[in-house]
Structure 1
């Protein structure tokens, strides 16, 4: 099954997943920046239980799915594990993400849910996330083009 042959349920299920995710963030209180800031200041560790619970459910789901299903039901693609090296980009990116998380008091998923519960000023943080991601993508493309040009002149 290719990207064009995916199940007609693909987009509705993705939408439903986002709906459930947002509802879970809102009901747990994690869509409120003050709750996240309290976590970051070690005043309220409830976020650990929310993230831990989500990680356990996701881990069980993927373990069962990869063991008993050969392919993903909606895309038809084989379940595979994505291996990522632990390199300096992971450390640097994580540190930058942490600073942004601390300054804004919200992480990306919770930002959208926060908007959904009426926190409209969060749009400034969301705009900042988009601009930051765009700037990094632009920088990466420039680095790649510079490296390609250097390889072309030296080869």
Structure 2
């Protein structure tokens, strides 16, 4: 599924830096159409999963979509995500496909993505332990 997803993203132009730049400059909306199509397909998929009470393959339990509560910092995080996407012309979904195409710049985006995820995990652990460094790195 991952290879198929990467192939389809590549064919749609989602791994092409120029399409990202043109989208953010509002010059070409091809990539926005791809994103919009993906959103519509995902909405239909979620509706069907809920409607037919589909069970998870691994656990056998019904697939459930729990609404997450608002968290402080969500707006700032979304802003940082958007800035990172605009600066690198790559979002987390396109980075592996870009690396597979041999785009060297995507390797740096992948490293940044991994370091950011690590930093987020450490920060969340730190916050969960009431600001204590002592227990922040325990699994």
Normalising by the smaller structure, the TM-score range is 0.7 to 0.9
TM-score (norm 2): 0.84
Gaps of 5+ in 1: 1-15, 150-155
Compute the displacement of 1:45 (Å).
1.1
Output the CA distance in 1 between the equivalents of 2:61 and 2:31.
33
Runs of 4+ in 1 over 6 A off after TM superposition: none
Q: Which residue of 1 aligns with 2:16?
A: 32
Compute the displacement of 1:147 (Å).
5.2
Gaps of 5+ in 2: 134-139
Compute the displacement of 1:96 (Å).
0.8
1:112 aligns with 2:102: no
Return 78-87 or 31-40, whichever deviates more. 78-87
- Higher RCO (CA-CA < 8 Å; seq separation 6+): 1
Q: Which has the larger radius of gyration?
A: 1
1:62 aligns with 2:46: yes
Residue from 57, 62, 78 that aligns with 1:78: 62
Q: Which has the higher helix share?
A: 1
1:48 aligns with 2:10: no
CA RMSD of aligned residues (A): 1.9
Output the CA distance in 2 between the equivalents of 1:73 and 1:146.
38
